[in-house]
Amino acid sequence: MTNEQAHRLAREKGVSRPLYAFVRALVTPFLRIWFRMHVSAAEHIPEKGAAIVAPNHKSFWDSFFIAVCTRRHVRYMAKTELIEARYGRLLVRLGAFPVRRGSSDADALETARVILEQGGLLALFPEGTRVRDPEELGNPKRGAGRLALECGAPLIPTAITGTEELFLGPFPKPRRVQVAFAEPIAASELASTPEAAGEPVDELLWPEVEGEYRRLRARPGAIAAALAALGIGSGLLVQRRRAAAAKRSRLQWRR
């Protein structure tokens, strides 16, 4: 499927409701149970109307985890190589549309505008690419702020943890994935010109994402926390903290 065909399909037809419902019913139990998903403040996603969910990006699966947090159809960008593959049409009918990485893609931005003008829910990763290091977040780009300003859509700061290295070959690891949504940033709070759209991303959106991300990363596992509350599991928490500190030291040494 070519980029042009994918954009036309995404703008004119968009999501296939039966296909989306089928895949959602199939995938949601697996993601929620196997990866022990914890979702907080999903009520910040509006029930209708244009909105931009703006999460950090660690994995190809991030869009799927975001999608199971809401009953609304989530639209998202996918790199051109995925759309041009044999399953590209399937991805488009599940909400994706192509973006060329490494440069400003006018077609992708126009499709995003069309989706928002139609009252859609768009998941847009401000970092622009995956940042696999669980200790770090990337630098945000201004695209989310510009789209929010042009379309009058609120920005919803979102953090997601645990999605890096989800699989060992074809086998899913029993990891814990957490998703947290912060209060929406209204379009009226954004800069008055598209040229200054990067400022609210840097000053309003990304600090919220970073704060939620650090909070989720610092949160102990439910079992360890319960044992610690009973006074019998403090050793587990100490071991986890020591392991995390050792990992950070190794990463700093490599740099």
Indicate if the pLDDT at residue 49 is higher than 90: yes
Identify the residue with better confidence: 80 or 200. Answer: 80
Indicate if the pLDDT at residue 247 is higher than 90: no
- Output the pTM of the full model: 0.82
In angstroms, the CA 133 to CA 250 distance is: 12
Per-residue pLDDT averaged across 212-235, rounded? 63
Per-residue pLDDT averaged across 192-197, rounded? 60
Per-residue pLDDT averaged across 184-199, rounded? 71
In angstroms, the CA 120 to CA 36 distance is: 28
What digits encode the pLDDT tens for the residues 112-128?
A: 999 999 999 999 999 98
pLDDT for 20:
96
Identify the residue with better confidence: 101 or 52. Answer: 52
How many C-beta neighbours within 10 Å does residue 103 have? 7
Question: Residue written as tokens 């630098």?
Answer: 139
Indicate if the pLDDT at residue 226 is higher than 90: no
- Using alpha carbons only, what angle is made at residue 182 by residues 180 and 186, rounded to the nearest 5 degrees? 145
For the chain, the structural domain boundaries read 3-219, 221-255
pLDDT for 234:
44
Indicate if the pLDDT at residue 154 is higher than 80: yes
Q: Which of 86-95, 101-110, 208-217 has the lowest mean pLDDT?
A: 101-110
What digits encode the pLDDT tens for the residues 229-242?
A: 555 444 444 455 56
In angstroms, the CA 134 to CA 165 distance is: 10
Q: Which two tokens stand for residue 142?
A: 């201004």
Indicate if the pLDDT at residue 17 is higher than 60: yes
**Residue pair 95/73 in contact by the 8 Å Cβ criterion:** yes
Indicate if the pLDDT at residue 71 is higher than 90: yes
- Using alpha carbons only, what angle is made at residue 161 by residues 160 and 164, rounded to the nearest 5 degrees? 115
Measuring CA to CA, how many Å separate 3 from each of 10, 142, 160, 185?
Answer: 10, 23, 29, 32
Percent pLDDT > 70 in the chain is 82
What digits encode the pLDDT tens for the residues 164-177?
A: 888 888 888 888 99
pLDDT for 246:
59
**Residue pair 160/192 in contact by the 8 Å Cβ criterion:** no
Q: Which two tokens stand for residue 84?
A: 């041009």
pLDDT for 255:
46
Task: Give the mean pLDDT of the chain.
Answer: 85
Q: Which two tokens stand for residue 218?
A: 């610092």
Amino acid letter for position 16: S
Measuring CA to CA, how many Å separate 26 from each of 39, 165, 176?
Answer: 19, 22, 19
**Residue pair 44/181 in contact by the 8 Å Cβ criterion:** yes
Question: 238 — phi, psi (to 5°)?
Answer: -60, -45
pLDDT for 174:
86
How many C-beta neighbours within 10 Å does residue 252 have? 9
Residue 171: exposure state from Cβ atoms within 10 A (0-12, 13-18, ≥19): exposed
In angstroms, the CA 50 to CA 115 distance is: 8
pLDDT for 128:
87
Question: Residue written as tokens 């159809």?
Answer: 73
CATH says 3-219 is which class? alpha beta
Measuring CA to CA, how many Å separate 42 from each of 14, 72, 158?
Answer: 24, 12, 10
Indicate if the pLDDT at residue 67 is higher than 60: yes
Confidence of residue 223 (pLDDT cuts 50, 70, 90): very low
Indicate if the pLDDT at residue 26 is higher than 90: yes
pLDDT for 187:
83
